[in-house]
Amino acid sequence: MTVSNQQLLQRMNKEVEEALASHGDSARVREHVRAVQLLCDLVLEEEKTSAREEAFQPSDNNSKPTAAEVRKMMGEEPSKSKSTQKDSSDEDANGSSIFDF
């Protein structure tokens, strides 16, 4: 459910009128002022959220990389897996362990 800015402004106006009508009762005035502050924050947060949504919407032409871009990212030729050969010059060695002496 979306609340329009007009509805929020009307509610702010009502809270201000009630604060003005609360002569001498500082606790009630503070309560109404706090409600106005909350309503102001709602309006400002809505503006921030809509600005963020506009900033993060990807454009259609940048959504998928082209074939040339993919080749550049992956390298011109597919990488060949290097063959791993165990270099054991000693018959008692366990392979390529760092603890081989």
Residues 33-67 pLDDT 10s:
999 999 999 989 887 777 766 666 666 656 677 88
Counting every residue written for the chain, the total comes to 101
DSSP state for residue 24 in the 8-state scheme: S
Higher pLDDT, 93 or 46: 46
Expressed in angstroms, the distance from the first to the final Cα of the chain is 72
Q: Do 93 and 100 contact (CB within 8 A), yes or no?
A: yes
Residue 71: is its pLDDT beyond 70? yes
Alpha-carbon torsion angle 22, 27, 32, 35, nearest 10:
-170
Question: Which pLDDT value is given to residue 81?
Answer: 55
Residue 97: is its pLDDT beyond 80? no
Higher pLDDT, 85 or 69: 69
